[in-house]
Amino acid sequence: MLDARLQERVKEAIRELAGSPLSGKKLKGQFEGLRSYRLGPLRIVYRFTKDWLEVAFVDYRKDVYR
């Protein structure tokens, strides 16, 4: 569970991604079709179309791609 401060940072980052979804890096391999946005020690992994943004998961970098 993320502390309250990190939760607020994640919410703000997701709002920013909704307006600028190309900000994240394209992922490869088993994560093809997803993008990753770096937020300090966290990664927000998501996909988007012209109509919506779907967050697949949010986790610490050391755990996110396992």
* Residues facing residue 47 across a β-bridge: 54
Please state the pTM of the whole predicted model.
Answer: 0.92
pLDDT of 28 above 90: yes
Give the pLDDT score at 1: 82
| 43-65: average pLDDT | 94
Quickly state the pLDDT bin for 66 (edges 50, 70, 90). confident
How many folded domains does the chain comprise?
Answer: 1
Distances in Å between the alpha carbon of 43 and those of 51, 62, 63? 22, 9, 9
What CATH number corresponds to the domain at position 33? 3.30.2310.20
Range of the domain at 17: 4-64
DSSP state of 65: T
Q: Read out DSSP for 2-62?
A: --HHHHHHHHHHHHHHHH-GGGSEEP-GGGTT-EEEEETTEEEEEEE-SS-EEEEEEEEHH
Quote the pLDDT of residue 22. 96
